[in-house]
Amino acid sequence: MNRVTVFAVLAAFIMVWITDCDSNDRNIPNSVELTDEGFPKSMVGIWESQNPKCNWGIKFEEDGSIQKLIHQLAGPVNLREGGVSAEGPEGSYYVFMMGPCTSQYIPSEGIVEVNIKIDHFSISLPYAGSLEGKSEDRIWGPVSKDGKTWQTQWVDYGWIEGADEPDPNLIEANPIPITFKKLDIKKLKSDVHD
C-alpha cells in the first residue's frame, strides 16, 4: 500500500469512529434542564410513592441532596439527618440512625439513582421482643420528563442481628417497581388557605 491509500483508509476509519461517537451522543437525554449543581430541575421537590406496600417519601434539594425522607422499613418513619427516636404505647420504642443518603444524576442513562443507608435501627415491642439491624436501599429510574411522575425500581438490603445475611443475587434479580408522584406544594398551600 502506498502512503495515499494508507492515509485514505485511516481517514475513513476516523470519520466512521467520529460519526459513531456523535450518534451515541444523540442518545443521551439532552432535554433535561439542570440546576446550577447539575441535578435535574424537574426532580427538585418532594416525591411520594404511589405503591401502598411501599410508603416512601423523598425530598430532593436543589443540589440533589436528601436531608429528609419517609422510610418504609417499619411502616412509614420520618427520617432526617442525625436520626430519630420515639417512644410508643406500653413501653414500645424505636431508634433509626440515618446514614449517608446520596443521589446522582447519570446523564448517559438519563436516570436519577438514590442510595439510602440506615446505619442502625432498633425496634422494641413489649410482647414481641426487639429487633436490631441496618439497611441499605437503592432506588433508580429515568428522570421525569413532565416533572410529575418518576418510574423507579427499588432494591433493599436489610441485615437483622441474628438472622442470615441477605442474598444480593436474589435481591438484585427481583427489584420492586415503584411509581413516585411529585407533590404540588403550591397547590397544597393554596388549598389550606382557601
Q: Beta-carbon neighbour count of residue 7 at 10 Å?
A: 11
Which range among 68-77, 94-103, 160-169 shows the weakest confidence by mean pLDDT?
68-77
Cα 49 to Cα 55, 72, 87: the distances in Å are 6, 10, 26
Q: Scanning the structure block, which residue is given the C-alpha cell 410529575?
A: 148
Which whole number is the average pLDDT over 134-151?
91
Mean model confidence pLDDT for the chain: 79
Q: Beta-carbon neighbour count of residue 75 at 10 Å?
A: 9
Which whole number is the average pLDDT over 96-104?
90
Q: What is the pLDDT of residues 18-69, one digit of tens each?
A: 334 333 433 444 578 998 889 999 999 999 998 777 788 999 999 999 988 8
Q: What is the pLDDT of residue 57?
A: 92
Domain ranges of the chain: 1-30, 31-193
Q: What is the pLDDT of residue 30?
A: 54
Q: What is the pLDDT of residue 164?
A: 87
pLDDT at 3 over 80: no
pLDDT at 132 over 90: yes
Order of strands, sheet of 57-60, starting from the edge strand that comes earlier in the sequence: 77-80, 66-71, 57-60, 45-49, 176-182, 149-160, 129-142, 111-125, 93-106, 84-87
Q: What is the pLDDT of residue 10?
A: 35
